[in-house]
């Protein structure tokens, strides 16, 4: 199975044999081209995908020691994501399937973040609660069948967790993307230095947004705290502020994820997406799952960020279960709902 991922700023190509054996993965990132803008520029991302697609295909095949005509099927991220970026991957996948005479599977980006864990930890228990956290998504999902039955329980109502990391990093003078830099700074900081707000965790909020997330207020609170400090002519302790902000995000994410597991009677929690590479999130999730008697599954960091392996993993699972292929006129759907695992 060949997988192609171009939903945002990474051009990923992965090759998977069977359902769980990763042969090779090639990844090109355009993050440095976006850094001077402080965020992803869709047109820049699309052009970078055009330039990287053929080299990544060739590199993945070379690493796996296979030829393109050895491929049995092609999977590609059809959505959600940046429209122009998705279009590059979908067009490339269509060309490959026509040229090779192989079936095409347009898959959901979020479901692929769930399926990729099978490459590291084997078959996914069903049901599983999945917490997906990235620059564009903060979602809690009930996964009863990763190929056909993914139910959203909650999502961000404003900024996603990764987006909040980027914005707070900018306030603290840290480079883009903010997640890795805040994680690094926080290791030498005091998470209790500032008691930043935990969005949507009060009794009234839980009644209406039990599994939803909100990080916009937290981001604003950090910005105001830093601004007040600077106006007073006092230095900003970046490690301490980074640690306190990170603790607030991680506290809410893990608290709601464990709540969803216990209330739904599901004993497995999977965490995926780029923010799942955060060291504090992994540590707190492990402790809270252990305390609640839950089994935690988190892929290695390289499989948490966007990559072609995750698309190939979901494609392989679809083929193994006899799912029908997508039509050749499948769209690049920037708003593809997670309930639609395969684009039709």
From first to last of the 344 residues of the chain, give the pLDDT tens digit: 999 999 999 999 999 999 999 999 999 999 999 988 888 999 999 999 999 999 999 999 999 999 999 999 999 999 999 999 999 999 999 999 999 999 999 999 999 999 999 999 999 999 999 999 998 889 999 999 999 999 999 999 999 999 999 999 999 999 999 999 999 999 999 999 999 999 999 999 999 999 999 999 999 999 999 999 999 999 999 999 999 999 999 999 999 999 999 999 999 999 999 999 999 999 999 999 999 999 999 999 999 999 999 999 999 999 999 999 999 999 999 999 999 999 98
d(CA 236, CA 185): 13
Q: Which of 182, 213, 249, 177 is nearest to 8 (CA)?
A: 177
d(CA 324, CA 277): 33
d(CA 286, CA 151): 24
Give me the pLDDT at residue 136, please: 85
Q: Go through the domains of the chain in sequence order and give each one's CATH number.
A: 2-116+307-320 (3.30.420.40), 126-301 (3.30.420.40)
Residues linked to residue 93 through DSSP beta bridges, in sequence order: none
d(CA 192, CA 251): 12
Which position has the token pair 């009794």?
203
Give me the pLDDT at residue 38, please: 85
């Amino acid at each position: 199975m060949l997988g192609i991922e171009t939903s945002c700023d990474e051009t990923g190509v992965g090759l998977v044999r069977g359902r769980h054996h990763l042969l090779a993965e090639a990844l090109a990132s355009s993050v440095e081209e976006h850094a001077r803008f402080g965020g992803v520029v869709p047109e820049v991302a699309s052009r970078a995908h055009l330039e990287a697609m053929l080299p990544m295909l060739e590199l993945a095949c070379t690493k796996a020691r296979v030829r393109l005509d050895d491929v049995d099927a092609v999977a590609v991220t059809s959505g959600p994501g940046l429209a122009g970026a998705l279009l590059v991957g979908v067009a490339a996948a269509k060309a490959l399937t026509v040229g090779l005479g192989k079936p095409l599977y347009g898959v959901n980006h979020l479901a692929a973040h769930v399926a990729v864990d099978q490459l590291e930890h084997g078959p996914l228990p069903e049901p599983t609660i999945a917490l997906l956290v990235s620059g564009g998504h903060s979602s809690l999902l009930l996964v009863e069948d990763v190929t056909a039955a993914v139910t959203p329980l909650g999502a961000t109502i404003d900024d996603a967790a990764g987006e909040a990391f980027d914005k707070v990093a900018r306030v603290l003078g840290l480079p883009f993307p903010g997640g890795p830099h805040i994680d690094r700074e926080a290791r030498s900081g005091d998470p209790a230095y500032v008691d930043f707000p935990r969005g949507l965790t009060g009794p009234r909020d839980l009644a209406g947004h039990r599994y939803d997330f909100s990080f916009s207020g937290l981001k604003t609170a950090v910005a105001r705290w830093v601004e007040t400090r600077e106006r007073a002519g006092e230095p900003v302790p970046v490690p301490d502020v980074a640690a306190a902000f990170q603790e607030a995000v991680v506290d809410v994410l893990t608290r709601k994820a464990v709540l969803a597991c216990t209330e739904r009677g599901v004993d497995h929690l999977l965490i995926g997406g780029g923010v799942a590479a955060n060291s504090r999130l992994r540590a707190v999730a492990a402790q809270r799952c252990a305390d609640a008697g839950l089994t935690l599954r988190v892929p290695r960091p390289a499989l948490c960020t966007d990559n072609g392996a995750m698309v190939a993993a979901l494609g392989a699972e679809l083929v193994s279960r006899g799912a029908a292929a997508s039509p050749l006129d499948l769209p690049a759907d920037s708003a593809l709902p997670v309930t639609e695992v395969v684009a039709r």
